[in-house]
Every structure is written in C-alpha cells, then in structure tokens.
C-alpha cells in the first residue's frame, strides 16, 4: 500500500502515487461548514487543527481527516469557522508522533509569518471595482517594455513622495511627486511609458519576520514559504490576514487603471528551508530531487531543488499560476532559475495560461545555479528555448557583451571599448534568432541561435542581480567622468531598446541609481537598495533619454517586428571600418511603417568614427545623449557620417 512506503523508496515510486483533480481546494469556506483537504498519499493518518486566533498558546480543535482514493485527506467541519486559523499534521508509517504543523501546500490566506492558514471567503478580499478590473490591451509580446522593481526599493526613500513606504499600496498612490516636484511612483511609470512592471517575489517568503514591522529588515524574497498568498511585510498589517490579499489586489487594479500590466516573479525551483517546508511536512520525500546518497540535490544553490517533473508538483505549479492569474489578475510570470524545471512543465504552464488569456506573459532565467539532478535535454534551459514557443528567456549574451561577464565586476566589454564583443551584442539586437550576418562562433555564450522568435529573448543590461548598470560602468571605467558615464549608459540602453527582443530595465536605472558597488544586495539594508529619487533631477539627461527610447520604440514598429522572418528580411548590419562599432539598418516597410529607413549606430571608441551611408538626407532622432522624434536635433547628409565618441546615433530617412 502507498501508506506503507518508506522514504527511501519515494524516488522510485512517485509516479505511482495518485494525483487529485485539484490541489488548490485545501480550505473551502461556507457559513454552514468548512471543507479541509490535504494531499499526503504516503501518510497513515492526518488531522486538521483549528484555532480561534493566531497565538502560539491557543488550544486547537483537532479533527481527524479521512483518506480518499486520490491521496488526499479530507473532512467537512460543520459550523461557521469564519475568522479561525488552521494547520495540518500528518503521520507516516513508522512515525512515533505526528510531524510538525504545516499550513498545507496550497494555503491562500495566512496569519503572521505564514504558519497557519486562515478561514474566510476569498471574495471578501476583493476591493471595490475589482469585478470590472481588466488587463490593459496588448497586441503582441513585441510591444512589451518591462520595468523590474522591488516594493521597498521603489518607495522607501523619504524623497519619493509616497506615503505607503515599502508597501503594496505605494503603487496605488496617484500624482505623487519627489521633493523636486517631479513625478514619482505610479505617475513616474506612466511618464516613462513602460507597459509592464515585474515585481520581485511578492508571495509569502521566509526571511523577513512579519511580527516585527518596526525592525529594519530587507530581502529580495527568493526564499518561498507559501507560494499562493501575498507577502505580509508588504501589507499595512499582518494582524488581519485579508489585508495582504486585498492590498495586493488594489495594487494590481491601480496599475491596470494606469495602463500597466503586472508580472510576478515566481520561485518554484526551491524553498526557504527543506525539512520544515510546507511541501516536505505535508508529503515527505516527494517534492524535491535527491542525490543517490539521500542528500538534497541543490541546483538552486539555496539548499534544495524541486522536482517539477513529478505529476503532483507539475500540477501544483500549473494551478498556482492559474490562481495568481485568475484570483489576482496577474498578467505575467517570471520564473526564477527556470532551468531547474522541466520543459514539459513549462509548456503546460504556457498552455494553461493561454486558456485564460494568451497575452499573459511567461519568461524566465534559462539557467540554474549548478547542474540540476535531471536530464539536461529535458530541462528548460536557454539552449532549449526553441522547444518552448511562447516562453521568453533572459539574453545574457547581449548583457555581458555590452557590460562584461557576471563573474568579474571589473571586466568590461563593448561599452568600454573592449574589442571582440560585437557579435554578442548583434546576437541580442536580432533577438537570439538565426540571422545570416552574425558570426555565431564569436558570440560569448551561445554558438548557435536559441530563439524561434525574437520575443523569446529578453533584452537587458541590468537587473536586480549583480551590479546595476551605473555601478558596473564605474567599476569598468573608473576614470570616466560623470558625462562619460551617462554616455555609456545611454549607449547601452540604445542597444536594449532598439533590439528585437523584449526590452527590460531595472527600476531606478533610468536615473542612474547605484547600490554603492554592492554586487549581490539581496539582504543589504535600504541604504543600499532604495532608489534615490533626487537623482531623477540630477540625471535628467539619462531619464529623458530612456523615456525617449521608449517613445521611439512605440512609434516605430520596425523596432518590434515580433517575427524572425521579418527581422531577417528587414534588418541588415552595415559594414563598419572600425572595431567597437555596430551599425544596422531596418528598412522596407518594416512592421508596416512607411518606406522609411532607420539606422542605429553604436560607437564605443574613444574617438569619433566615420560611417559610409547612402547619399541621402537623414533626420537625426538621437545623438549625443539626446532624443527628439520631431527632428529638432537636425539633419545630416549621407556619404561619410561622423559618429561622436562613446555615443549612439539614430537616423531616419
């Protein structure tokens, strides 16, 4: 019998275990009774403990659960249990006592620090107007412009003008301004023109003690506890378990009203701890991969790696993203260390979300921290992206081709004039697809194209990981003046925003935020991570340039063709006579544009270079860190066009 399996036999027998039709119905409330269900097919007994409050010493009502044929243990507990808390305990064959308490694997509302589930009707958490909330319209993934932010970083600065510092509700505040009377918060995002925000993990995570809101604490949140409930430290109170749910929904609704979609960063690849995680306490031995010697596999670098290929965990992931998309109206998902998951699971995720809305975005990191304990050919690695249509992957070829490798913060690349990086940047410009003019033998990481379509590549030069771009420029060009740093920044962002991939920018980069040189600031204090909003005025040139690039991309479909054949047809790299120069032309009614011709030039040399162009009169759209789409910068005649040192130039004919 399944209940008699030993833990050592789990790896061999997990495919035989029954999987229920639903995992997301662990608690279903009605005024007359509450249904409790927990999946633990290897258990010999299971109980639900019901508490009047969330306090440690509260005496529970204990209800024995009955085993069902699908591996769940269930009970309908009569009476109105609204406002009560609960958790589960299971006992395995051979156990002398029940295992530690667990809120279950699919808990949707929790008390402080997520140790107990909460009994209530989810519909009670809907803010006013929630039923009419709609995703902002989007025709193509090529139209996306992604802005990655962390809730505390975005609103903790005293000059931000936002009252709900570090909370979900900061993104609901309208018309906020900095101490310099410049738009901040949601108004800043609208002014910038981004289409999506990607919020760092916002589910219930383990490294911040929610019971101590006045104690300085910081973490990015890549340490999951309860995957399907918002993080309490971003709510105004944890005393009311419904507050975090309601306020998260308010945040999403406010973004939607502003025309901005919301992407959730999800971390299904590992958990905060292993032995005492809800997954392990509920179904021991099932959800994680183990080495032959019985130790935890550790492809995440965080102590464990989950087993997405196992049927119940695959179903869990699929039901979880559906829960966030339907209950919270989330518009996309960024999978942390997606390379730990299997391809089939990721394709099933894409399929499930397509059934809800095919414009819901799915992307992720196409790598792992170290080799996962699974067949490489079946993993959702970047090299296998062509097997996952409709799923995007971060293009580190372009990132490191521009700024330098992630393993050495002092190593520069194209931006600082290090030759030999041109093909890696060009690889990113076309969106990691096959293109006849790229010499793939000279690309830094990938010697073959891995994307079927350009929208499978995320174009970026900076994100929460590693140094932000301002710090990286300082590290790789320590003698550069302030103006030179701005020029290198603008050139990097030109490559990102005129590429055919999905452009992505880290929050605050547009005002050249720095993290005081900290490479990995996942638990650094606010003094390191907070966006310094006064820099919006100090670095107005950088902000205006990024805003101009976004406007340029929106106004010219040629920069967002969204189709590999169209890119190959319309985008051509131009001959250049110097190293550290990249030039390309998009022409021929690209993207439905008129018969205009767009030319982008990146010159990272410390000298002006000349480029041979057709003998035409070009309108200058961008030059020397300035963008103006109306043509006020001026015009230039073809023939030999001079491109200033360490700058980008964009021309239109």
As a whole number of angstroms, the distance between CA 60 and CA 64 comes to 13
Of 235, 255, 34, 264, nearest in space to 125 by CA: 235
- Give me the numbers of helices (H) and strands (E) for the chain, helices first please: 15, 25
Write down the pLDDT at residue 589: 87
pLDDT of residue 3: 34
Question: What's residue 6's pLDDT?
Answer: 39
Q: Which residues of 597-624 are buried (b: 16+ CB within 10 A; e: fewer)?
A: bbbbbbbbbeeebebebeeeebbbbbbb
CA–CA distances in Å: residue 225 to residues 166, 217, 268: 20, 17, 10
The tokens for 568 are: 């190959």
Catalytic residue among 24, 204, 365, 400: 365
| pLDDT tens profile 502-552 | 999 999 999 999 999 999 999 999 999 999 999 999 999 999 999 999 999
Contacts of 535 (CB under 8 A, 6+ apart): 508, 511, 512, 513
- Nearest to 582, CA basis, from 449, 461, 421, 405: 421
Q: What is the CATH number of domain 141-272+279-361+376-559?
A: 3.20.20.80
CA 218 to CA 225: how far, in whole Å?
A: 16
Geometric angle at alpha carbon 243, from 266 and 273, rounded to 5°: 40
What pLDDT does 16 receive? 81
- Are residues 604 and 414 in contact, defined by beta-carbon separation less than 8 angstroms? yes
Contact between 455 and 142 (Cβ < 8 Å) = yes
* pLDDT at residue 97, as a whole number: 86
Name the CATH superfamily for 568-652.
Golgi alpha-mannosidase II (2.60.40.1180)
Residue 188 and residue 419: Cα distance in Å, rounded? 37
Q: Which residues of the chain have pLDDT under 50?
A: 1-11
CA distances from 242 to 42, 51, 118, 573 (A): 33, 17, 9, 55
The rounded distance, in Å, linking the Cα atoms of 162 and 254 is 14
Q: Please provide the DSSP assignment of 24-81 as one string.
A: S-SEEE-SSEEEEEEE-TTEEEEEEEEESSS-TTPPPEEEE-EE-TTSEEEEEEES--
Q: In sequence order, what are the residues at sequence separation of 6 or more whose Cβ sits closer than 8 angstroms to the Cβ of residue 515?
A: 467, 468, 471, 521, 524, 528, 529
The secondary element (H helix, E strand) that includes residue 599 is: strand 598-603
Task: Identify the active-site residue in 336, 397, 422, 566.
Answer: 336
User: Does this chain's domain 2-125 share its CATH topology with 141-272+279-361+376-559?
Assistant: no
pLDDT of residue 9: 42
Residue 574: closest CA among 591, 589, 586: 586
Q: Is 336 among the catalytic positions? A: yes
> In the structure encoding, which two tokens stand for residue 554, read together?
């929106």
pLDDT score, position 11:
43
Torsion of CA 240, 245, 248, 254, to 10 degrees: -100
Question: For residues 463 and 11, what is the distance between their CA atoms, to the nearest angstrom?
Answer: 37
DSSP H or E run through 349: helix 343-356
* Residue showing tokens 């916002």: 202
Strand partners, 263: 198, 332
Q: Given strand 33-39, what is the order of strands in its sheet?
A: 27-29, 33-39, 72-78, 66-67
Domain spans in the chain, listed from the N-terminal domain onward:
2-125, 141-272+279-361+376-559, 568-652
Active-site residue, 133 included: no
The sheet with strand 85-92 has its strands ordered as: 61-64, 43-51, 85-92, 117-118
Question: What percentage of the chain has pLDDT greater than the value 70?
Answer: 98
pLDDT of residue 594: 72
Which residues does 295 contact at the CB level (< 8 Å), separation at least 6? Answer: none
CA nearest 67: which of 3, 142, 157? 3
Domain 2-125 has CATH 3.40.50.800: no
CA angle 143, 499, 535 (to 5 degrees): 85
Return the pLDDT at 128: 97
Q: Which two tokens stand for residue 340?
A: 């730990």
- 515: part of which helix (H) or strand (E)? none
Contact 604, 581 (CB under 8 A): yes
pLDDT for 592? 84
């Amino acid at each position: 019998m399944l209940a008699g399996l030993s833990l050592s036999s789990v790896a061999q027998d997990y495919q035989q275990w029954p999987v229920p039709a639903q995992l997301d119905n662990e608690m279903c409330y009605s005024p007359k009774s509450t249904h409790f269900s927990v999946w633990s097919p290897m258990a010999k007994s299971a109980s639900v403990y019901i508490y009047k409050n969330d306090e440690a010493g509260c005496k529970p009502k204990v209800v024995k659960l009955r085993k069902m044929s699908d591996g769940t243990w269930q009970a309908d507990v009569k009476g109105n249990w609204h406002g009560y808390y609960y958790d589960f305990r299971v006992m395995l064959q051979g156990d002398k006592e029940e295992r530690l308490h667990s809120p279950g694997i699919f808990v949707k509302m929790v008390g402080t620090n997520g140790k107990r589930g909460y009994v209530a009707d989810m519909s009670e958490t809907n803010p006013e107007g929630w039923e009419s909330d709609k995703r902002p319209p989007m025709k193509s993934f090529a139209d996306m412009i992604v802005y990655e932010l962390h809730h505390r970083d975005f609103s903790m600065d005293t000059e931000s003008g936002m009252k709900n510092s570090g909370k979900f509700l900061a993104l609901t505040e309208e018309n906020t301004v900095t101490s310099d009377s410049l738009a901040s918060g949601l108004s800043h995002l609208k002014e910038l023109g981004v289409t999506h925000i990607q919020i760092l993990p916002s589910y219930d995570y383990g490294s911040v003690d929610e019971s101590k809101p006045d104690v300085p604490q910081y973490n990015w949140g890549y340490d999951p506890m309860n995957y399907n409930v918002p993080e309490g430290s971003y709510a105004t109170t944890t005393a009311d378990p419904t507050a975090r749910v309601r306020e998260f929904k308010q945040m999403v609704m406010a973004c939607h009203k502003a025309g901005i979609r919301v992407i959730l960063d999800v971390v299904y690849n590992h958990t905060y701890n292993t032995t005492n995680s809800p997954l392990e306490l509920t179904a021991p031995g099932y959800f994680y991969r183990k080495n032959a010697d019985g130790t935890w596999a550790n492809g995440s670098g965080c102590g464990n790696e989950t087993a997405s290929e196992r049927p119940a965990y695959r179903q869990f992931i699929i039901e979880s993203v559906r829960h966030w998309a339907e209950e919270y109206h989330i518009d996309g998902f960024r999978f942390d260390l997606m390379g730990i998951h299997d391809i089939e699971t990721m394709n099933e995720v894409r399929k499930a979300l397509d059934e809800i809305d095919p414009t819901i975005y799915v992307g992720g990191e196409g790598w792992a921290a170290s080799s996962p304990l699974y067949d490489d050919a079946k993993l959702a690695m970047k090299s296998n992206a062509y097997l996952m249509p409709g799923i995007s992957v971060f293009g580190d070829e372009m990132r490191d081709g521009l700024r330098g490798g992630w393993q050495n913060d002092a190593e520069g690349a194209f931006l600082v004039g290090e030759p030999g990086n041109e093909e890696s940047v060009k690889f990113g410009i076309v969106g990691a697809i096959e293109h006849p003019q790229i010499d793939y033998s000279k690309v830094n990481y990938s010697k073959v194209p891995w994307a079927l379509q350009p929208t499978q590549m995320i174009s970026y030069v900076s994100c929460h990981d590693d140094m932000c771009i301002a710090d990286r420029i300082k590290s790789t060009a320590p003698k550069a003046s302030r103006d030179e740093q701005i020029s290198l920044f603008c050139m990097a962002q030109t490559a990102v925003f005129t590429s055919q991939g999905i452009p992505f920018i880290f929050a605050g980069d547009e005002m050249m935020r720095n993290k005081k040189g900290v490479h990995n600031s996942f638990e650094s204090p606010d003094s390191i991570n907070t966006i310094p909003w006064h820099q919006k005025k100090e670095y107005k040139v950088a902000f205006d340039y990024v805003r101009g690039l976004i406007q340029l991309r929106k106004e010219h479909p040629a920069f967002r063709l969204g189709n590999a054949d169209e890119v190959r047809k319309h985008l051509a790299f131009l001959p250049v006579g110097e190293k550290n120069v990249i030039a390309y032309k998009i022409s021929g009614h690209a993207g439905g544009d008129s018969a205009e011709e767009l030319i982008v030039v990146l010159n990272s040399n410390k000298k002006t270079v000349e480029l041979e162009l057709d003998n035409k009169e070009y309108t200058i759209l961008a030059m020397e860190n300035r963008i103006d789409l109306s043509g006020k910068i001026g015009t230039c005649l073809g023939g030999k066009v001079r491109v200033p040192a360490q700058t980008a130039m964009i021309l239109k004919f």
